[in-house]
Amino acid sequence: MYQALYRKYRPKNFEDVVGQEVIIKTLTNAIKNNMVNHAYLFTGPRGTGKTSIAKIYAKILNCTNLTNLKPCEECISCKQINNNQNIDVIEIDAASNNGVDEIREIRNKVSLVPSNSKYKIYIIDEVHMLTNQAFNALLKTLEEPPSHIIFIFATTEPHKIPRTILSRCQKFDFKKISNYKIVDRLKHIADVENIKITEEALMEIAILSDGGLRDSISMLDQAVSYANDEITLNDIHDINGTINKKEIQQFIQLVFDKNMVEMLQKIEEYEEQGKNLVKIVQEIIEELKNIILYCNVPNYFPETVDYYETIKINVNNKKLYDYIHSLSELVGNMKNSSNNKILLEIEFIKLMEEPENEIVPIKSIVENKIISQTQVKQENIEQESNEQQAKVNVQEPPKNVSEPSSLKKRNIDLTFRLSEEALQNLNELKKIRINNALVAVSQKNRNLFKEKMESLKDLLMNPDYSKLISLLFDGELKAISNKNIIFVYKTNLLAEAFNMELLALEKIFLKQFKENYQLIAVDEEEWNTIKNEYNKNKNQYQYQEEKIDIHKIFESEKDPTTKKNIIDDLFENMIEYDG
């Protein structure tokens, strides 16, 4: 019966392992210095050697004729381990044996001494699949294990393992294997097996395997069955549903040229040929990255690339960054979709429809709209003020109007809508909320709440909320303490727009999160000042009761005829909805 190449060339000793030198050195020194631990946790991507190293380590520990820390492969223990027949080295797949009963069975047997080996070793693969009850049953054994017991856990998702288990294990992080090391290993296998394969095909296999040696060997095995004689780059593309670099470059050129008809025809061809559209998008992203590198660091490339020279005339960094960002989001959406072709077509149509083939982020649109709207309003106010001043006797001394110290006067100021008294109250409210947000500020709470806020993005499609939510996500949550939150914006315009909509935003938070939050916004310049002050006097911050009625601040605007939402003013005619 034919044996798959990945099984045939599975490492049998540490010398055969590729790309995990640090881990091998640590385990080797542990054996030399008689510092073998009772529990190990091997984490990392699939196909990087976790289970293989676990078996080799078990073989070395139990080998009776060990020479230079290399198993003899001849003793009874080595032969039995190689044939999966050693009753003292137990491999368990936690995906199918994840219950508390299986772990209790292990716990009942750990007191039994090994039959014909030095150690009884349990290798539990995909350990994150164990239930909480199973982990709890395992805890006592890990706490006080017999001297002859060793546990080796392997997982691709260590974040799912309880901290109580993690703290009792010696943890090893397996890294992805470099493309060049994968190519060297594949060359060795090809030479032994008399497989003819080009250098380009080997490198493409390494790239597609994404750091997993087992995946690359399996891909080579599949290519041997597919190709008639020598394995070429086109054979690898056919097997994996990808396209070659030249076709990727031609497709990108169609997008930059806004050739929508040919672009759609190409996608149709890829679909008919059974190409993997997700992988094609990933290759487009990789090629866009190369264009950015060439445009900015041409010396990074060993030689001049004519294609990149042509492309960089028509593109700029911002456009490339925006393309990569949009396509990266598309990859995530396509992985969860049943019709990738439609998503791909719509995304590229959207990119190509942008004026001058350039994507304009919503933040830029908002800021430009704010500036244009507020400039008009400010000019009207200044004109009215000048007309009134002309009627006043020039000999009359000007009145001194006090200006709040914590709100700096800007050329463009949305708070002109408020009366002087309301403006002072807003300023005082701002001070209190900043203070209360910093009283017990927590980085952990900030990260958790930022994740929680992602649910608000669902409201972007709701015309009743879309403009407010767009404004909200133009800023960044910088500090949270209990129910007080500070948002920071790049410009004072956006921060003022946020503060003018506090009531509406807090109502959204209450509806979404079922709790009352006190929000406030500042710009980056003011935030830097706040941070410096906080770092100097953090111990002096005390909670202050919020006595100002926020509703009264916005009840009296200077112009009673402009009662509609300020965001509608700023965004008018910018977003349209059907129906």
Q: Is the Cβ–Cβ distance between 497 and 471 less than 8 Å?
A: yes
CATH number of the domain at 245-357, please?
1.20.272.10
In angstroms, rounded to a whole number, what is the distance separating the alpha carbons of residues 45 and 422?
58
What is the three-class DSSP state of 131?
coil
Domain layout of the chain by residue ranges: 5-173, 179-240, 245-357, 414-571
Residues 6+ apart with CB under 8 A from 224: 193, 195, 231
Q: What is the mean pLDDT of residues 186-207?
A: 88
In angstroms, rounded to a whole number, what is the distance separating the alpha carbons of residues 186 and 371?
60
Token couple for 411: 């050329």
pLDDT for 388: 54
Residues 6+ apart with CB under 8 A from 227: 235
In angstroms, rounded to a whole number, what is the distance separating the alpha carbons of residues 421 and 552?
10
Q: Is the Cβ–Cβ distance between 38 and 146 less than 8 Å?
A: no
Q: What is the pLDDT of residues 26-38, one digit of tens each?
A: 988 888 888 888 8
Assess whether pLDDT exceeds 60 at residue 403: no
Name the band, by pLDDT with cuts 50, 70 and 90, for residue 275.
confident
More confident site: 358 or 143: 143
In angstroms, rounded to a whole number, what is the distance separating the alpha carbons of residues 532 and 431?
15
Query: What distance lies between CA 358 and its chain's CA centroid?
Result: 25
Residues 6+ apart with CB under 8 A from 452: 513
Q: Is the Cβ–Cβ distance between 127 and 153 less than 8 Å?
A: yes
90 forms beta bridges with 122
126 forms beta bridges with none
pLDDT for 485: 93
- Which of the residue ranges 238-242, 313-317, 507-511, 537-541 has the most confident prediction, judged by mean pLDDT? 507-511
Query: What distance lies between CA 532 and its chain's CA centroid?
Result: 30
Q: Point out the least confidently predicted range of 313-317, 501-505, 515-519.
A: 313-317
pLDDT for 126: 86
List the one residue out of 88, 76, 74 whose CA is nearest residue 13. Answer: 74
Residues 6+ apart with CB under 8 A from 507: none
Name the band, by pLDDT with cuts 50, 70 and 90, for residue 405.
very low
CATH number of the domain at 5-173, please?
3.40.50.300
Using DSSP bridges, classify how beta strands 120-125 and 89-93 pair: parallel, antiparallel or unpaired. parallel
pLDDT for 464: 78
More confident site: 378 or 239: 239
92 forms beta bridges with 124
- Which of the residue ranges 142-146, 209-213, 405-409 has the most confident prediction, judged by mean pLDDT? 209-213
pLDDT for 579: 39
pLDDT for 88: 83
pLDDT for 521: 94
Using DSSP bridges, classify how beta strands 149-155 and 120-125 pair: parallel, antiparallel or unpaired. parallel
Query: Is domain 179-240 given the CATH code 3.40.718.10 in the classification?
Result: no
List the one residue out of 395, 393, 418, 392 whose CA is nearest residue 407. Answer: 418
- Residue 197 has φ and ψ, to the nearest 5°, of -150, 140
